[in-house]
Homo-oligomer: A and B are copies of this chain.
Amino acid sequence: MRNFRFYAPTKVVFGKDTESKVGGLVKEQNCKKVLVHYGGNSAKKSGLLDRIYDSLKEAGIDYVSLGGVVPNPRLSKVYEGIELCKKEGVDFILAVGGGSVIDSGKAIGYGMVNDCDVWDLYERKAQPKGCLPIGAVLTIAAAGSEMSNSSVITKEEGELKRSCNNDFARCKFAIMNPELTYTLPQYQTQSGCTDILMHTMERYFTTVKNTELTDSIGEALMKTVIHNAKILMKEPENYDARAEVMWASSISHNDLTGCGTIGDWASHQIEHELGGMFDVAHGAGLAAVWGSWARYVYKTDVNRFAKFAVNVLNVPNNFSNPERVALEGIEAMENFYREIGMPTSIKELGINITDEQISEMAQKCTHDNTITIGGFQKLNKEDVEKIFQAAR
């Protein structure tokens, strides 16, 4: 086990009707004016925004709203939010939505406190010095942004998708009512489950040895998500299944499943290029490339993949042929993706990708082949191209 830090200070308020507590939670932060930040119209239509406004009013908290955040949230919306918040004297950002809205809220929070252009933080040209306090009312179980230190923003110009990861942007609180996810389209639910799984898988595939508790917690989480994703295919309003998946979304990405390890994250970086160029659902993009990544790298540690196969996917162990077990595990994972309607190739995302596009994405992903990606196995531009080719 490696030395590690673990810091997950977000106050989680989980369960039915918990959105009614939002006013009191903002008040605890001694804040006075809130930006209520959200995505499309569903939060408005469902009455959720009204319930939130009522709770804020009851607590004597002033607010202003900004909707229109889209998946793979855009830098232009972030600038719009910063301008509004400055004009209105906002001192707290309340994100009502999933990872895109929370990430956009974090970016606005950074922009309010740091002197530089906020994009400089995402390009790693500057270090954040702070962030406005953020809270979340979660409506999509997927990104885990409600407990993570991460924010991912896409700059339209150049289709660049970049992340800024800093503890300043950890949510002060996260309200999680599983009922708010009942009406999500099936594809989005399952794309979310895939993203949750991948946040643990990226940490699980490590070359660090002797991480027994972290591994077994990760396995517990992955088995739970796989089981409940299947239930949600048939029963989208099963409260307990929604609750398992929602709680898993948070602890899959608050670092708990990576304590003492070094994660991989190559699949995420490969998918970020896809998402930047083609605007695919993040989880679906991950499912489309993961199998190709796995078959490309599994020989780095066959036993790790065999352990994944046996402990997560119930592949029967074969002590005399771990390679076979490893490959059966990759196949079982892809079969699971198919079962929940996720793609296992880029083509199934509806994209006929060209060689030029593959080359361009591999180029961007490896910063013109000046860096490698992946902690489990280091991948250069050529490796990334081969994985894209295998996944096309």
A interface vs B, CB < 8 Å?
1-9, 11-16, 18, 210, 212-214, 216-217, 219-221, 223-224, 227-228, 239-240, 243-244, 247-248, 251, 256, 259-260
State whether A259 touches B240 (Cβ < 8 A). no
In the complex, the answer to whether B18 meets A12 with C-beta atoms within 8 Å is no
Residues of B within 8 Å of A224, CB to CB, are 212-213, 216
Q: Is the CB of B3 within 8 A of A14?
A: yes
Contacts of A210 in B (CB 8 A): 240, 243
In the complex, which residue of chain B has the Cβ closest to the Cβ of A9?
Answer: B9
Interfacial chain B residues near A13, Cβ < 8 Å: 5
Residue from the list B5, B14, B220 in contact with A260, Cβ < 8 A: B14
Report the 6 A-B pairs with minimum CB-CB distance, sorted nearest first: A3-B15, A216-B220, A9-B9, A210-B240, A6-B12, A213-B224
- Give A259 to B8 CA distance when docked, in angstroms: 15
Q: List 27 A-B contacts (CB under 8 A).
A: A1-B15, A1-B239, A1-B247, A5-B11, A5-B12, A5-B13, A6-B14, A8-B8, A14-B260, A15-B260, A212-B227, A212-B228, A212-B240, A213-B221, A213-B224, A213-B244, A213-B248, A214-B247, A216-B220, A216-B221, A216-B224, A217-B217, A217-B221, A243-B260, A247-B259, A251-B256, A256-B256
Give A213 to B248 CA distance when docked, in angstroms. 7
Chain B residue nearest in CB terms to A247: B213
